[in-house]
Amino acid sequence: MTQMQTVLIIEPDPSIRGAMADVAHEAGYRCLEAGDGDEGLRLFGHARMAHVFVDVLAPGTDGLEVIRSLRALANGGGEAGRVTVTALMGESSFGDLGLLRVARLMGADHTVTKFPPLGHTLVTLGRILAGEGTRLVEKRMHRRYARSLTGMVHWYHEAVSSTVECTVLNLSLGGALLRTRCDGRAVPQPGADRFELVLRDEDGYDEVFPCEPRRLEHDGEHVFIGTAFSTLHARQKKTLRTCLAA
């Protein structure tokens, strides 16, 4: 029997860390989680790792120092020489994105930005776990979502509800990127009381996905909406997997 490989996730945000762990589990990996660099290095010393995902601004021993330490171990041979390291940085750190280039110089194999919706990041991490480079990931994503899904988006704000058809440009278990036309109508607002995406499942029923709008952009004709799914139940995950496999 093939031994299950292990992924180490060093990420301070518990919700993001949990979503990344879900991706690793679905890809067939065992997963260890750490909230800071010190704990991450300790865990690395107690298990054989295939991949390490590390936030470059992790508290304690920061991600850059973690990468430097891993590659220093690699220079001495042993398991660290075969681990794939991915450096991540959140959108709140736009001014420091040069740190991702530093991470590359220190030995990171991949660099990924955690822009909302988180689904973009999770798709990329899934492809990395499947052995694809980040450039190939981008090509696969653009090719895959050229054939887009159609759904409905509902939002409720101050007792007023609106419903409009949308095109799903990108979809994962973490969230979706939607596009809808303005057409002179009210558009979704970040402060909506409720925000939902409706997709049709394989049995022809409408499945409602509660969302958290994370990004709204206008180009005059269209509204682009980045969302993260608030919660996902088993049936909703099944619907999403069906849509992703279409």
The structural domains of the chain, ordered by start, are: 6-142 (3.40.50.2300), 149-245 (2.40.10.220)
> How would you classify the pairing of strands 84-90 and 51-55?
parallel
Q: For 79, how many CA atoms within 13 A lie in the half-sphere containing its CB? A: 11
Q: For 226, how many CA atoms within 13 A lie in the half-sphere containing its CB? A: 13
Predicted local confidence at residue 144, as pLDDT: 38
Predicted local confidence at residue 95, as pLDDT: 43
Distance separating alpha carbons of residues 87 and 109, to the nearest angstrom: 8
pLDDT tens, residue order, the chain (246 aa):
356 789 999 999 888 899 899 889 888 899 999 999 999 999 998 888 899 999 998 999 889 999 999 888 766 555 555 789 999 987 544 445 567 778 888 889 888 877 655 776 787 888 888 875 444 434 443 333 334 577 888 877 666 677 788 888 777 778 888 888 776 555 666 566 678 888 865 555 678 888 888 777 777 778 888 888 888 888 788 777 777 665
Single-letter amino acid, residue 1: M
Predicted local confidence at residue 106, as pLDDT: 86
239, 187, 237: which is closest to 215 by C-alpha? 187
Query: Under DSSP, is residue 113 helix (H, G, I), strand (E, B) or coil?
Result: strand
Report how far apart, in Å, the C-alpha atoms of 5 and of each of 129, 144, 233 are: 11, 28, 27
Q: For 8, how many CA atoms within 13 A lie in the half-sphere containing its CB? A: 31
Predicted local confidence at residue 40, as pLDDT: 94
Answer whether 0.75 is exceeded by the pTM. Answer: no
